[in-house]
Amino acid sequence: MSKLVFELPNAQTPGYLRRAKKGLEFKERMAAGVDPTSIDDMVNFLLDFVSEPEDREEAKEALFDANEEQFSNLLDLVTGENKVENPTADGKPSTKSELLEKE
């Protein structure tokens, strides 16, 4: 079983407004009706934050295997909309988040 590990941006990560804008654009596009191009664009946007697996095609496939709630949560975490604490072992602060598991 491989894990999809995200290097999540934090308050000091440059590009906050760019990520927030892109996230809002994706949410608006989804509300208007999802099309194949929108899905590819969202996966490619999130792919930039995946640290594991290192193989980009494997990471992309893992993103495509996410369910709707997981995908939405990942998008919210990357854009800063989701203020929940990152899931980490023993409550230790980390910028890594292992949110999806793939067999």
pLDDT digits (tens, 9 = 90+) for 3-31: 788 887 777 888 888 888 888 888 788 78
Question: What is the C-alpha to C-alpha distance for residues 25 and 58, in angstroms, rounded to an integer?
Answer: 26
Token pair for residue 28? 């608006």
pTM over 0.75: no
- For the chain, the domain total comes to 1
For residue 19, the enclosing domain spans 2-102
Residue 57 has a pLDDT of: 93
Structure confidence by residue, pLDDT tens digits, 45-84: 889 888 888 999 999 998 898 888 887 778 777 776 665 5
Assign 1 a pLDDT band (cuts: 50, 70, 90). very low
Residue 90's pLDDT band, with cuts at 50, 70 and 90, is very low
Residue 53 DSSP one-character state: S
